[in-house]
Amino acid sequence: MEPLYEYLSTWFHDGRSERVVCQGRASFIEEFISRDEFPTLFGGYALSENQTGHDYLGVWGSRVCKRFRRVLRERGASFQLSSDPPKLRLKVRTP
């Protein structure tokens, strides 16, 4: 089963709190949700990279993470939620 990581991140720190981020391997996520759909469905996306150069794609915000998981399930994705992400470096954040 594919891991989907949900964790608190300071990437989107606004001085008040950390943000929940939900990401999975980009190649897995894009089997079910194309990158072009992210702005309409979720208001943007976060693309990050692990130490070996693999891309991770996902969203931020508690409600958006919940919607992200629901859309993946509705489209047939099978994943296991993990709160222990690999070390990731943010590459791109859209709106």
**Residue 17 pLDDT class (50, 70, 90 cuts):** low
DSSP-derived secondary structure for 34-89: -GGGHHHHHS--EEEEETTS-EEEEEESHHHHHHHHHHHHHTT--EEEES-PPPEE
At 14 the three-state DSSP class reads coil
CA-to-CA dists, residue 11 to 8, 47, 88, angstroms:
9, 11, 11
* Region 2-93: CATH code: 3.30.780
Least confident segment among 5-9, 29-33, 34-38: 5-9
Least confident segment among 42-56, 62-76, 78-92: 78-92
Domain boundaries, the chain: 2-93
Do 59 and 42 contact (CB within 8 A), yes or no?
yes
